[in-house]
Amino acid sequence: MVHLLQILINGLASGAVYALFALGYTLVFSVLGVINFAHGAVFTIGGYLTYLLIGGAVGANGLLAGLQLPLALPFWLALGLAGAGSALVSLVVEAVAFRPLRKRQAEPLLSLISSLGAGVVLVNLVQLLMGAESYSIPSSTLAGLPAALNLGGAQIRTVQLLLLLVATLLLVLLTLWLEGSRGGKALQAVSEDPVTARLLGIDSGAMIRLAFAVSGFLAGVAGGLVGLSVSIAGPYFGIGYGLKGLGVLVLGGLGSVPGAVLGGLIVGLAEALVPSDFSGYKDGVAFAILFLVLLLRPRGLLGKPLASKV
């Protein structure tokens, strides 16, 4: 039973990070109807920015070898700033890979490819600057907090609790913003029907940029959190997350905010339940669930019914 609590917390914590990640996809998908394949690269950048801002030094292999920022920000501040930096990168991706195609009303498939190209450029830029080695954010950045808590006999890593806390906080804030603010409502209006939204005086271009910025912020924060709880395993580590995030997104239902959260939690818990003897199969769990759900319920768990053309 004690063991179960540990599994539960671990599963919820990684599930919450998946949810943060998938929410970024969902925001962009709901306004544009396309998947942003550069999202994983923005996540990578969030991880690296967090590492640099807490004063981490660059290894020997990149162009920036030996660089160390002359500041060592507390983790929270670094995480927030890394999120902001990632939001900027996400805006650049929008301007370079999405806007030119949107202006021509090109097929959605094309922006999928061009965003993938943007992702390849970003990931290799990181590799060029910082080398291919892995970095880890030392947990000593969380000064004053114990490494693990003893909850009724279960050892819970503090980092896991923090992950869960931060992710939940962001999810709640995002929902409040989407449901309660003018900006959030306008965003929803654009995703419901861009033409009517424009008639009502909503600047859809600005809303799309807003969706990219928020999505980039969420990805960046998720990157920093994973960097803290596991490590930044080289520039490509966002790609694996990006792929799993895609699974989470479709599992919950494309474009659905509660769906992304539910999908993230299901995948996180399912992965935590994989016995350690079979840990090699962990990465397949999300896709096995996704595959089964798609066959039984093609629109995902909480997705809207698929529109059919008649």
Partner 1 sequence: MRDLSLLVQMGFGALLALSVYLPLRCGQLSLATPGFYAIGGYVAALLSTRWPALSGGGASYPLTSLALELLLAALVAGAVALVLGRPVLQLRGIYLAIATIALVEILRVLNLNMAWSGGAVGIFGIPQPFDGPAGYALATGVLLALTCWLCSRLEAMRLGRAMSAIREDELAARCMGIPTADVKLIAFVLSAVIAALTGVLAAHFLNTWNARQGSFDASITTLAFVVFGGSRIWLGPVLGGLVITALPELLRPVGDLRLILFGLVILVGPILFPQGVITPEGLARIRAAVRRA
Residue 144 C-beta: closest distance to partner 1, Å: 40
60 binds partner 1 per the rule CB under 8 A? no
Residue 48 C-beta: closest distance to partner 1, Å: 16
Q: Of the candidates 65, 223, 224, which has an alpha carbon nearest to the alpha carbon of residue 130? A: 65
**Binding residue for partner 1, selected from 95, 106, 173, 206, defined by CB under 8 A:** 106
CB atoms within 10 A of CB 36: 31
User: Is the C-alpha dihedral spanning 263, 266, 272, 274 positive or negative?
Assistant: negative
First to last CA, the chain: 54
What mask of x and - would describe binding to partner 1 in positions 196 to 235, judged by CB under 8 A?
A: ----------------------------------------
What mask of x and - would describe binding to partner 1 in positions 112 to 151, judged by CB under 8 A?
A: -xx-xxxxxxxxxx-xx-----------------------
**Mapping DSSP to helix (H, G, I), strand (E, B) and coil, where does residue 231 land?**
coil
Residue 11 C-beta: closest distance to partner 1, Å: 19
Four-point Cα dihedral 220, 156, 142, 45, nearest 10: -20
Contact between residue 202 and residue 4 where contact means Cβ atoms under 8 Å apart? no
Residue 129 C-beta: closest distance to partner 1, Å: 10
2 binds partner 1 per the rule CB under 8 A? no
- Concatenate the DSSP letters of all residues of 99-147 into one string: HHHHHTT--HHHHHHHHHHHHHHHHHHHHHHH-S--B---GGGSTTS-S
Q: How far apart are CA 38 and CA 27, in angstroms?
A: 14
35 binds partner 1 per the rule CB under 8 A? yes
Q: Of the candidates 110, 229, 107, which has an alpha carbon nearest to the alpha carbon of residue 163? A: 229
DSSP strand E in the chain: where? 148-151, 154-157
**Binding residue for partner 1, selected from 4, 77, 107, 193, defined by CB under 8 A:** 107
What is the DSSP-derived secondary structure letter of residue 303? Answer: P
275 binds partner 1 per the rule CB under 8 A? no
Q: How far apart are CA 42 and CA 86, in angstroms?
A: 6
26 binds partner 1 per the rule CB under 8 A? no
Compute the half-sphere exposure of residue 255: CA atoms within 13 Å on the CB side of its CA. 16
109 binds partner 1 per the rule CB under 8 A? yes
48 binds partner 1 per the rule CB under 8 A? no
What mask of x and - would describe binding to partner 1 in positions 65 to 104, judged by CB under 8 A?
A: -------------------------------xx--xx--x
Closer to partner 1 by CB, 108 or 153: give it: 108
Closer to partner 1 by CB, 123 or 170: give it: 123
User: What type of residue is 43?
Assistant: F
**Binding residue for partner 1, selected from 74, 138, 153, 298, defined by CB under 8 A:** 298
37 binds partner 1 per the rule CB under 8 A? yes
Compute the half-sphere exposure of residue 310: CA atoms within 13 Å on the CB side of its CA. 3
Residues 232-271 that bind partner 1 (CB under 8 A): 239, 243, 246-247, 250, 254
- Bridge partners (DSSP) of residue 135 are 232
Q: Of the candidates 161, 134, 137, 145, which has an alpha carbon nearest to the alpha carbon of residue 5? A: 161
Residues contributing to the site for partner 1 (CB under 8 A):
35, 37, 96-97, 100-101, 104, 106-111, 113-114, 116-125, 127-128, 239, 243, 246-247, 250, 254, 278, 280-281, 283-284, 287-288, 290-291, 294-295, 298-299, 306, 308-310
